[in-house]
Amino acid sequence: MARSYALIVACGRDRPGLIAGVASAVAEAGGNIEDLDEVVMKGLFVMSLLVSLEGSASLEELRRKLAERGGELGLKVEVHDPVAEGWMDEGGGDRSGAG
């Protein structure tokens, strides 16, 4: 089965446990975090994640899990499909960001 991707952006008021909360929701949905960038700016938590989904893992399930977890954590979470948006080629495209 083809590999698909999800680009996730999460933000809100910072406190310990936010990365753990989001990352565990991703893991529960069968997603694998390929790239992660997080920063705290004046107490504001901002995180972006590039997640790959393989096999039975679906974008819908990931969206559902993250909406639920985001609500619990007090985070706004956006989940984008970079291939459908035309930001990334099918199957991952340019991976020059890795490293």
Partner 1 sequence: MRVVVTVAGLDRPGIVAGVTSTLASLNANIVKARASSLLNLFVMVMLVDTSQLKVPLKVLEDALKERCNELGVAVSMEAEADFVKERRLVAFDADGTLIDAEVIDELAKEAGVEEEVREITRRAMEGELSFEESLRRRVRLLKGLPLERVLRVASRVRVVPGAREILEELKKAGFITVLITGGFDVVAREVGRQLGFDYVFANRLVVKDGVLTGEVEGEVMGPEDKLRLLKEVAERHGISLEECAAIGDGANDLLIIRNVGLGIGFNPKRVVREQAKAVVNIKDMRAVLAILGVGRLKEDVKARVESWRK
Binding site for partner 1 (CB under 8 A): 14-21, 23-24, 26-27, 30-40, 47, 97-99
User: Which of 30, 86 has the CB closer to partner 1?
Assistant: 30
- Residue placing its CB nearer to partner 1 in the complex, 17 or 86: 17
To partner 1, the closest distance from the beta carbon of 40 in angstroms equals 4
Nearer to partner 1 (CB atom), residue 52 or residue 86: 52
What is the nearest approach in angstroms of partner 1 to the Cβ of residue 92? Answer: 12
Element (H, E) at 48: strand 44-53
What DSSP state is assigned to residue 87? S
